[in-house]
Amino acid sequence: MRVLVVDNYDSFVYNLVQYLGQLGVDCDVRRNDEIPVAEVGRLNPAGVLLSPGPGTPQRAGICLDVIREYAGRLPIFGVCLGHQAIGAAYGATVNRAPELLHGKTSQVHHAGAGVLAGLPDPFTATRYHSLAVVEDTLPDEIEVTGRTESGIVMAMRHRTLPVEGVQFHPESVLTQGGHLMLANWLATCGYPQARERAPELVAEVEARRLAAFAA
């Protein structure tokens, strides 16, 4: 199975690609200004991942148009800037975050919805962002599925379409359950086998995560 990864000129994108590969899928990585929106349909991916990156959603190449054009036609998963692009595409405000965290961890509280299914509540997530989606500006069709202890939106999804985003970085070694999150998304793309591979991979990263905190 192959998914499209829209690269928003970010150094983390190939960490995501590595995680996806470990889960058993191939990735077609394209820069956000490399292909027109119509090319996404011609590539016929099983799903589209919108990567992290610098700047604002409005400066993220084709991301906003991909969401508007393919929501409901292809499963879409946004990470960091990709998550913010989902909010912006549905009319939400993306502003400076109340707390600016780069390479820091936070506890995310959730009820196990969407890509967060099977994760502990709360779980530790790694954050690299200066902007955040303003929850009060989200439309009814978007539900918040994860928040920090201070109430900042960390995860959200469309109530009826396979469109979901996380503000933190699943691919960071300091994030709990990153492989499981991606496996949950891949299951919506038609590849439930990823969930069978996830536990061993999660355990390997968890051992490294605990070692990092103990150092």
Give tens-digit pLDDT for 34-51: 999 999 999 999 999 999
Assign residue 24 a region (left: φ > 0; alpha: ψ between -120 and 50; beta: otherwise). left
Contact yes or no for 27/3 (Cβ under 8 A): yes
Rounded Cα gap, residues 77 and 124, in angstroms: 20
pLDDT of 102 > 90? The answer is no
> Per-residue confidence at 210, pLDDT binned at 50, 70, 90?
confident
Average pLDDT of the chain is 95
Residue 182's pLDDT is what? 99
Annotated active-site residue 80? The verdict is: yes
Q: What is the pLDDT of residues 123-171, one digit of tens each?
A: 999 998 889 999 999 999 999 999 999 999 999 999 999 999 999 999 9
Which domains does the chain carry?
A: 2-130+142-214 (3.40.50.880)
For the CA atoms of 28, 31, 36, 38, the dihedral, rounded to the nearest 10 degrees, stands at 30
Q: What is the pTM of this model?
A: 0.96
- Answer yes or no: are the C-beta atoms of 83 and 126 closer than 8 Å: no
Residues of the chain with pLDDT > 90, as a percent, come to 89
Q: Is 110 part of the annotated catalytic residue set?
A: no
| pLDDT for residue 100 | 63
**Looking at residue 98, what is its pLDDT?**
67
From 27, 63, 80, 189, active-site residue: 80
Candidates 170, 181, 196, 194; CA nearest to 23 is: 194
Q: How far apart are CA 123 and CA 154, in angstroms?
A: 11
Mean pLDDT to the nearest integer, 53-81: 98
Question: CA-CA distances (angstroms) from residue 110 to 65, 148, 153, 197?
Answer: 29, 9, 11, 23
Residue with tokens 């591979």: 197
Question: Given this model, what pLDDT does residue 97 score?
Answer: 74
User: From the candidates 83, 171, 179, 189, which is the catalytic residue?
Assistant: 171
Catalytic residue check, 171? yes
Closest by alpha carbon to 60, among 94, 26, 105, 27? 94
Of the residues 83, 158, 169, 179, only one is catalytic, namely 169
